[in-house]
Homo-oligomer: A and B are copies of this chain.
Amino acid sequence: MSEKFHFDTNKYIEIYRDGLLNDVVPFWLKHSIDREKGGFLFCLNRDGSVIAEDKPIWIHGRFVWLLSTLYSNVEQKAEWIETAKHGLDFLRKYAFDTDGRMFFTVTRDGKPLRKRRYIFSETFMIMALAAYSKATGDKQAAAEALDLFKKVVMYTNTPGFLPPKVNPETRPAQGLGVNMILINVGQELRQVTDDPFVNEWIDKSIENIEKYFLKEEFKAVLEMVGPNGEFYDTLEGRQLNPGHGIEAGWFILHEGKVRNNEHYKQLGLKIIDYMWQWGWDKEYGGIIYFRDARNLPVTEYWSDMKFWWPQNEAIIATLLAYDVTKDEKYALMHQQIHDWAYQYFPDKEFGEWYGYLHRDGRIMTPVKGNFWKGPFHLPRMLYYCWQLLK
């Protein structure tokens, strides 16, 4: 394999950089800014036309994070930081409830629609504030970010503070998602604060994942376990989300790389390896949405679909694994997922990527954005991979 192998760095740099700067960021800048009411309109049809005006708060945080990060690390383009501020203004004005928690969706003019039990509006607000602070030197934003991070840690560690989905007396549970997001948010927040609380929670979250969610008997990270890592042999307890696991893997691998921590590196690589095995669709290619840890049939309706974001996370994870290990295995995995994703997801006519494909790559819905898809996983992939290869 080795003698034939050639990793074409320049090819990938070009694809990721040009995709980011000439396709994806311009698509959202052109179509999503709500100049009349503030914030962004993210529910977009294939051509960028608006199909609904309700506003998802967490996608606002994600776009502010993206634009601020590009401003700091790529180029000090006025349009980027002005648009980040445009989003942050809307968030500060309309995204918080009187109890300090954040809404999930608001109307076009900022009236509250839904507040959920999840803390993802908060976590992406922290990332937005941290990145904006780094880009502009706004110390107040950094302080707000740290304060909100401490609140999220309190919310998620105070039993009963967030209403649980399932009765905690019958089936106490913890989710992978909260641990993952604290790692990623901590990594962003650390750029504007040296409060040791941040690294403490990154470390604690990684420890939780290793101790409670990683299961050698399944060679997988689970999505939901008991407080001491108990495996629940239920539909939810067995449900694997390979794209999510791969994302957790690269967050941990990234932490290992940044802090030169060999244990984190090995843990991240193991998680990526395990979840790639579960996720890669040997029949059609691409990363599948759900699997069952005991290989029983899944029942969630979109289980065998190909969403955009698991492909984005797998492209980052395999490239980062190659970067850290120089093991050609990862370069080949990267090529494999890159080629599959680029065959089916890009919209060659209107730009950006489709989000929701059937298992075999056919388009299920052509929308470019909704309450879940916006300018985040794809542009983060393009940015992260480009920077890694540069």
Measured CB to CB, the residues of A under 8 A from B are 43, 45-46, 51-54, 107, 111-115, 165-167, 169-171, 233-235, 296-299, 301-305, 356, 358, 364-367, 370-371
Contacts and interface: CB of A to CB of B under 8 A. Distances in A.
Contacts of A234: 52-54
Contacts of A367: 297, 299
Contact of A51 (B111, B113, B297, B356): B297
Nearest to A165: B114
21 contacts: A43-B299, A45-B296, A45-B297, A51-B235, A51-B296, A51-B297, A53-B233, A53-B234, A54-B234, A111-B170, A112-B170, A113-B166, A113-B167, A113-B170, A114-B166, A114-B167, A299-B365, A301-B305, A303-B365, A304-B364, A358-B358
A102 to B, nearest CB: 14
A4 to B, nearest CB: 38
A121 to B, nearest CB: 15
Contact of A235 (B52, B107, B366): B52
Contacts of A299: 43, 356, 365, 367, 370
Contacts of A43: 235, 299
Contacts of A112: 167, 170
Interface of A (DSSP majority class): loop
B113 A171 contact: yes
A293 B54 CA distance: 17
Contacts of A111: 167, 169-170
Contacts of A51: 235, 296-297
Contacts of A165: 114
A112 B371 CA distance: 31
A366 B364 CA distance: 21
Contacts of A166: 113-114
Contacts of A366: 297
Contacts of A304: 364
Q: Most B CB atoms within 10 A — which of A113, A165, A370?
A: A113
A113 B364 CA distance: 34
A52 B46 CA distance: 40
Contacts of A114: 165-167
Contacts of A107: 170-171
A125 to B, nearest CB: 19
A364 B305 CA distance: 10
